[in-house]
Structure 1
Amino acid sequence: MKKIVPVFMACLIFCSVGGTTVLAAVPPDNGGIVSPCYLYTNQAYSNLSISGGVASCKSTVYGISGTTTKIVVTQTLQVKDGMSWRRITDWSETFNSWYCSYPNSYSPIGSGTYRVKTVAKVYKGTSYETITVYSTEVS
């Protein structure tokens, strides 16, 4: 009996340590980024740069070659107004392709914090999904 107790205790400690290690194993942190899963879209970007009083806006959408049939893009230049965003102007275009790059510019631009909102309807035939992306804020 005296030999069984130490062996039992050793097993208990070993199992506890092993159990703790298993419970402590968690998936790696990806920075809190959650990537949505789309049916017809691979990637979408919204970019803004301001120089010399001109806002240069660009929306880029990559559908899926052989799947995506059309992309309808609405690009909106916005300025921060208190805690919300106010529309300055917008542009829309239809691209009968699986890919689009849509540049626009606006001037004169005043002081403030700006961003570009891109809303893309990405089609496969008559079915579509709506993607919304924002540029980084530029002051």
Structure 2
Amino acid sequence: MKNQKAKRIFASICLSTCLLTCAAPIALASETTSDADSPIAPCNTYISYSACSLKVSGNTLTAYGMVNANTSVNKCSIKLVLQKKSGTSWTQVAEWSGSKNSNSYTLSQKRNSSKGTYRAVATVKVWNRNSSESNTVYSNTCTIK
């Protein structure tokens, strides 16, 4: 009788230990998900808004990049890249860049393109006296048939 009671206590302790050990990592797990095509945007000090979009009309693609920053910023730049999907990866087909001594800037470029799926990527950068900040944003995808 004592032996069975000891076995039950031992089994209870083992079960409790197992449940606590297995449950702890689950309780500490984060429920954050992200998609490679739309990365999580970082918190910015100077950049208040950045965006990138792509529009298609016939076989003409128009890529847009835009940045707005707080009033202490004195220069903005944008590098705008047009990419074409090739299998599971993206290859660069065009690149444009520009800058403006201001706290906001928009860059828009057109390109005739062949059949395929495209996206635009805008890398924006702003300067505030001796420091700078940058952000990369992705557009929607567009398909030319």
TM-score normalized by structure 2?
0.69
Preserved contact between residue 115 and residue 137 of structure 1 (Cα < 8 Å):
yes
RMSD: 2.0
Q: Distance in 2 between matches of 1:34 and 1:121?
A: 18
Judged with a 3 Å threshold, the aligned counterparts in structure 2 of structure 1 residues 34 and 84 are, in CA distance, closer, same or farther, namely closer
Unmatched runs of 5 consecutive residues or more in structure 2: 1-30
Whether 1:45 and 2:24 are equivalent positions in the alignment is: no
Runs (4+) of structure 1 moved beyond 3 Å?
A: 31-35
Counterpart of 2:102 in structure 1 is 97
For residues 117 and 141 of structure 2, what CA distance do their matches in structure 1 show? 6
Equivalent residues of 1:71, 1:120 under 8 A apart: yes
Match in the other structure for 2:133: 129
**What are the residue-to-residue correspondences of 1:1-139 with 2, within 5 Å?**
35-65=41-71, 67-107=72-112, 109-139=113-143
Aligned residues between the structures: 109
- Between the aligned partners of 2:114 and 2:41, the Cα distance in structure 1 is 34
Q: TM-score, normalised by structure 1?
A: 0.72
